[in-house]
Amino acid sequence: SLTAGIVGLPNVGKSTLFNAITKAGALAANYPFATIDPNVGVVDVPDYRLDKLAEIVKPQRVVPTSFEFTDIAGIVKGASKGEGLGNKFLSHIREVDAICQVVRCFDDENITHVAGKVDPIADIEVINLELILADLESVDKRLQRVSKIAKQKDKDAMAEEAVLLKIKEALENEKPARSVELSEDEKKIIKGLNLLTMKPMLYVANVSEEDVANPDDNEYVKQVRAYAEAEGSKVITVCAKIEEEIAQLDDEEKKMFLEELGIKESGLDQLIRAAYDLLGFATYFTAGEKEVRAWTFKKGMKAPECAGIIHSDFERGFIRAETVSFEDLVAAGSMQQAKEQGKVRLEGKDYVVQDGDIMLFRFNV
Ligand code: GDP
């Protein structure tokens, strides 16, 4: 499954945030695997639509969909040169599909900052530069090989060389590969290189307890937002310390605690939704009397592929899907009425499933 990696310099609050994730995950009762990698945290994806569906369908149980985070500790300046846990660290990043970079935006004299003072942009640049240098090395290596073949007028090699040169130029200007505008074909050509700076990036500004209600008043957060906006990345704000406390509460307690703090949604829930979005994920639902359940799919997937997420037999034997959008079902008030109003569609194998669709798959065994 797809996973988002949590990175950041030492002492910015990564472990604290990751603890919150694993604690919240331990409460997520529906996670079927007993033993998992200690560096992997699995959380439920919060979705108000599930509760709404449960009100309509009144199922025996409600099952949210889940999402995976990987803790990638150990980046330091010089990682791309193999310093510290450098190479190992970079290879771990290579395995994730999106990067959540935790940035220290809290002052605390008792907590040492690796560079001597809190400076979120300098921190971000340290990490991003390591990723850029590592990519530059990959691109150069590849270019050496491809250019030789391109000289012999090999069409594929020439096309690849052109893309590599574009990316190289960006990297040399300390810009991430994802900042280069590429066509779908060009993206395909360099997909195999699995460049680190091609992965989508989310900045997680870790603010103090005092700032959690109004994080955007914090100067550090403003700086991070400006930086992220310039490169087209998103920012969310959390207070990792508070998240660690919240993660141990049940839903009711959590709601009260958040109200006291003056925040609408916990930072962790924001993080989960933002990371989900960053990966191009969407949710469809199945809604029966036994179970109302959310399923994660990638935007653009067609009905048979989505059916295959539940079971490979569903995909192999796919005939058609009965589909109604969440909004139409809620407006109709019941599945029966939605049918009577003609809101339940029959869709075939070319149907591109939409976020919020309620799906009933028909298949041959
Ligand atoms: P890591 O090295 O990035 O994993 O950082 P840690 O999660 O170990 O945090 C480093 C220190 O900062 C610990 O003493 C944490 O308790 C503290 N810390 C983390 N997040 C916050 C926060 O939001 N507010 C404050 N005041 N301290 C925090």
Classify domain 131-197 by CATH architecture. Orthogonal Bundle (1.10)
List pLDDT tens digits, range 270-291: 999 999 998 899 999 999 999 9
Q: Which ligand 1 atom sits closest to the C-alpha of 102?
A: 3
Q: How confident is the model at residue 84 (pLDDT cuts 50, 70, 90)?
A: low
pLDDT band with cut points at 50, 70 and 90 for residue 82: low
- Using the mean position of ligand 1's atoms as its centre, give its distance from the Cα of residue 13 in Å: 4
pLDDT for 34: 43
- The predicted model scores a pTM of 0.86
Is residue 86's pLDDT more than 70?
A: no
Known binding positions for ATP: 11-16
- The proportion of the chain whose per-residue pLDDT surpasses 70, expressed as a percent, equals 93
Least confident of 33-37, 247-251, 308-312, 360-364: 33-37
CATH of 300-363, one of 3.90.280.10, 3.20.20.150, 3.10.20.30, 3.90.870.10: 3.10.20.30
The string of pLDDT tens digits covering residues 142-166 is 999 999 999 999 999 999 999 999 9
Q: Superfamily for 3-47+65-117+199-278? A: P-loop containing nucleotide triphosphate hydrolases (3.40.50.300)
The mean predicted confidence, pLDDT, of the chain is 90
Ligand 1: lining residues by beta carbon, under 6 Å:
8, 10-16, 106, 108, 111, 206, 208, 239-241
Could you tell me where in the chain the CATH 1.10.150.300 domains are found? 131-197
Q: Ligand 1 mean position to 208 CA, how many Å? A: 10
Domain with CATH 3.40.50.300 in the chain: 3-47+65-117+199-278
ipTM score for this prediction: 0.95
For position 109, what pLDDT does the model report?
80
Q: CATH 3.10.20.30: which residues of the chain?
A: 300-363
Residues making up the binding site: 11-16
- Supply the pLDDT for residue 78: 66
Take atom 24 of ligand 1 and give the residue whose Cα is closest. Answer: 208
Candidate from 69, 100, 105, 111 with most ligand 1 atoms within 8 A of CB, to mutate: 111
pLDDT score of 85? 53
Task: Residue 54: name the closest of 361, 358, 362 by CA.
Answer: 358
